[in-house]
Amino acid sequence: MKLQKIILLFVILTTFLSCEIVQETRFDKDGSGTYSLGFDMSEMMKSSGLKSDTKNEQLDTVFKFADIIALKKDSIATLSKKEQQKIKQLEAFTLYIKSDTIAKKMLMRINYTFNDLEDLKLFGEKLKDQNFKELTAFTNKTQAKDTKGDGIPDFNTLYDMKYSAKKFSIKITKKALNDALKKKDTTLTKDNPMANMIRFKTRYIFPYRIKKVTNENARILSDFKGIEISANLYEVNNHPDFFDFEVFFE
């Protein structure tokens, strides 16, 4: 859960002109699962001023880092043990990029397979300082020119999460809440056009049917095994705990 230095710290928000950030976390019964962080920057492309006669550049591909690492195994074997272990962490990631400069569409999504909640919080750490051109294509689009770092936000580190067969809970940490309140933009009003330029959607999928969810902003999915919460910049700015909830299973 980049939609939440991130959503709640608002530094990352300067990265985008207009963007929808979508997060999805799918849990298995043992606490493992798949986390997906996606960016729809089609609106940004439409407002970028590209001329209609611009050369059409299309890309629709999936990068499986486990396959890439296997292809580069000989060169990777020449690196230090520490560097090899760092690269091996990328085996849990896949990257999807779709771009069309004429249709002005740009969709990017990175998927991560995690073992448990603690492993989920290592999402950003495992991507940090990885020198792969395939990742550069992603980070170049999600990083502002005057920022430093990898450009891939890790929302998971801002929350305390608990998961069992009875319930799942997620709550913003005290530090993240205090940081968000300190950085709150008091000039941002509900009717400000900027409010909808950055939109956030977070989705959780569980192996159990849902009995109850405490967040009134949450929408229970039709199969009763997932919830979805959407917010714009104004809502997140004024309510840093917008995505907090507890969900109880049958």
Residue 138 has pLDDT above 70, yes or no: no
State the Cα–Cα distance between residues 164 and 160, nearest whole angstrom: 14
pLDDT band for position 202 (cuts 50, 70, 90): very high
- Which residue do the tokens 């710290």 mark? 9
State the Cα–Cα distance between residues 205 and 109, nearest whole angstrom: 17
Name the residue with higher pLDDT: 2 or 180: 180
Torsion angles phi and psi, residue 163, rounded to 5: -140, 135
3-state secondary structure of 88: helix
171: which residues sit within 8 A by CB, 6+ positions away? 159, 160, 161, 241, 244
Check if the beta carbon of residue 242 is closer than 8 Å to that of residue 231. Answer: yes
- Which residue do the tokens 């999600």 mark? 142
For the segment 86-108, what is each residue's pLDDT rounded down to a tens digit? Answer: 999 999 999 998 877 776 777 88
Q: What share of the chain is helix, strand, coil (3-state, %, to 5)?
A: 30, 30, 40
Check if the beta carbon of residue 56 is closer than 8 Å to that of residue 102. Answer: yes
Other beta carbons within 10 Å of 220: 16
pLDDT band for position 45 (cuts 50, 70, 90): low
For the segment 214-229, what is each residue's pLDDT rounded down to a tens digit? Answer: 999 999 999 999 999 9
Nearest alpha carbon to residue 112 among 86, 94, 124: 94
State the Cα–Cα distance between residues 239 and 217, nearest whole angstrom: 12
Torsion angles phi and psi, residue 129, rounded to 5: 60, 25
* DSSP assigned state of 21: E
Other beta carbons within 10 Å of 198: 25
Check if the beta carbon of residue 97 is closer than 8 Å to that of residue 37. Answer: no
For the segment 108-123, what is each residue's pLDDT rounded down to a tens digit? Answer: 899 999 999 999 999 9
- Which of 26-40, 129-143, 221-235 bottoms out in mean pLDDT, i.e. has the lowest? 129-143
Average pLDDT in the chain: 83
pTM summary value: 0.83
78: which residues sit within 8 A by CB, 6+ positions away? none
Other beta carbons within 10 Å of 55: 6
pLDDT band for position 14 (cuts 50, 70, 90): very low
Output the DSSP codes for 22-44: EEEEEE-TTS-EEEEEEEE-HHH
State the Cα–Cα distance between residues 231 and 184, nearest whole angstrom: 16
3-state secondary structure of 205: strand
Name the residue with higher pLDDT: 204 or 127: 204
User: In the structure encoding, which two tokens stand for residue 8, read together?
Assistant: 């709640």
